[in-house]
């Protein structure tokens, strides 16, 4: 078995957290160019001596060549992964087949979380500033490779429909459902019917207990739950919760308190306005009394105004008014009592 010594640097990025799909395809092609793929993909293809106790010279050479290829393939895989990924294959770094299977096991987990992240990366693609369309298409192709790597062998169109419907439901949830989403993505499998059951349980729990999230409900999504018997709310007439934990009552109390506070504020504002109006009225009345008092009359006119008024007909004629409280007259001698 002959091998080819690489003369150029590895032409693709090392394996990281999110590029297993493209890395696996590139690494497979790279190992094939070095004639090292057989020892990685099919470890049972090794030629074994007919008589293990007495191998022939040719058989011994075949075994040595096979072990040499295994060492080269292991080294190439080790150098093609980032430092953070080497921890996964550290214990099996002398066996390329086990290294390959271990990396696949780590990165290609058949769990909703991996599917969700792969679909989310694809649907969340946006053209970057200054990015060419060719580069955008390459990123989309890479995202599709990651999704294909997560598909089981029996994946069908119905499975795709199920994944897309589940993906759409999960993506619509706001941030306050993050704990609930995390619990869904930890499940071993997630079909649409199980997801719908988890949504219904979560809604019931939030309504009954007024909690932000309940991750444990997702774990029990596959089981059938029955309503609590004998529990009845005397406030809203709903079942499965008591008046003490009734959301309707809590909201009604908050609304009534707010309305009472507004009413008090409005009443205080009205009383203050009435007080201001009364004080203004008293000021006007006091001013009228002052103007009506004859002893104060002279101060309301300036010297020029008083001179002008004395020369008018009003100063020479007195219109007596029996209903008047006080009389103003510049001619003092007209009065009987001086």
pLDDT for 65-104, tens place per residue? 888 998 999 999 999 999 989 999 999 988 999 999 898 8
User: What pLDDT was estimated at residue 296?
Assistant: 45
User: What pLDDT was estimated at residue 250?
Assistant: 79
- Separation between Cα atoms, residue 140 and residue 153, nearest integer Å: 22
Beta-carbon contacts of 101 under 8 Å, excluding residues fewer than 6 positions away, are: none
Answer yes or no: are the C-beta atoms of 3 and 69 closer than 8 Å. yes
Residues of the chain with pLDDT under 70: 1-8, 49, 109-113, 188, 209-230, 232, 235-237, 240-241, 270-338
User: What pLDDT was estimated at residue 290?
Assistant: 43
Backbone angles phi and psi of 15, in degrees to 5: -70, 125
DSSP string, 205-257: HHHHH--S--HHHHHTTTS---PPTT-B-TTT--BSS-GGG-HHHHHHHHHHH
pTM comes to: 0.42
Answer yes or no: are the C-beta atoms of 93 and 80 closer than 8 Å. no
User: What pLDDT was estimated at residue 77?
Assistant: 93
Domain ranges in the chain?
Answer: 20-107, 112-127+158-221, 231-291
Answer yes or no: are the C-beta atoms of 159 and 147 closer than 8 Å. no
């Amino acid at each position: 078995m002959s091998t080819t010594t690489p003369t150029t640097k590895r032409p693709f990025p090392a394996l990281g957290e999110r590029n297993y799909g493209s890395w696996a395809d590139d690494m497979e092609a790279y190992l094939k160019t070095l004639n090292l793929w057989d020892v990685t993909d099919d470890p049972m293809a090794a030629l074994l001596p007919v008589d293990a106790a007495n191998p022939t010279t040719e058989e011994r050479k075949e075994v040595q060549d096979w072990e040499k290829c295994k060492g080269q393939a292991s080294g190439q895989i080790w150098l093609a992964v980032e430092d953070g990924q080497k921890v996964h294959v550290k214990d099996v770094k002398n066996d390329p087949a086990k290294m390959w299977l271990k990396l696949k096991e780590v990165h290609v987990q058949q769990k909703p979380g991996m599917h969700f992240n792969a679909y989310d990366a694809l649907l969340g693609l946006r053209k970057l500033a200054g990015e060419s369309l060719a580069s955008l298409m390459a990123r989309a192709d890479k995202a599709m490779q990651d999704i294909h790597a997560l598909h089981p062998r029996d994946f069908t169109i119905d499975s795709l429909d199920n994944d897309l419907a589940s993906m759409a439901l999960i993506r619509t949830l706001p941030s306050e459902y993050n704990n609930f989403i995390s619990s869904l993505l930890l499940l071993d499998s997630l079909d649409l019917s199980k997801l719908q059951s988890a949504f219904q349980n979560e809604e019931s729990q939030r309504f009954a207990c007024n909690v932000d999230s309940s991750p444990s409900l997702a774990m029990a999504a596959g089981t059938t739950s029955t309503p609590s018997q004998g529990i009845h709310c005397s406030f809203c007439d709903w079942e499965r919760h008591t008046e003490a934990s009734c959301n309707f009552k809590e909201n009604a109390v908050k609304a009534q308190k707010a309305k009472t506070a507004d009413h008090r504020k409005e009443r205080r504002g009205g009383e203050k306005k009435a007080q201001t109006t009364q004080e203004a009225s008293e000021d006007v009345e006091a001013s009228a009394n002052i103007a009506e008092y004859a002893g104060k009359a002279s101060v309301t006119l300036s010297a020029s105004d008083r001179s002008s008024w004395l020369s008018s007909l009003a100063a020479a004629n007195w219109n007596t008014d029996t209903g008047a409280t006080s009389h103003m007259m510049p001619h003092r001698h007209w009065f009987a009592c001086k």
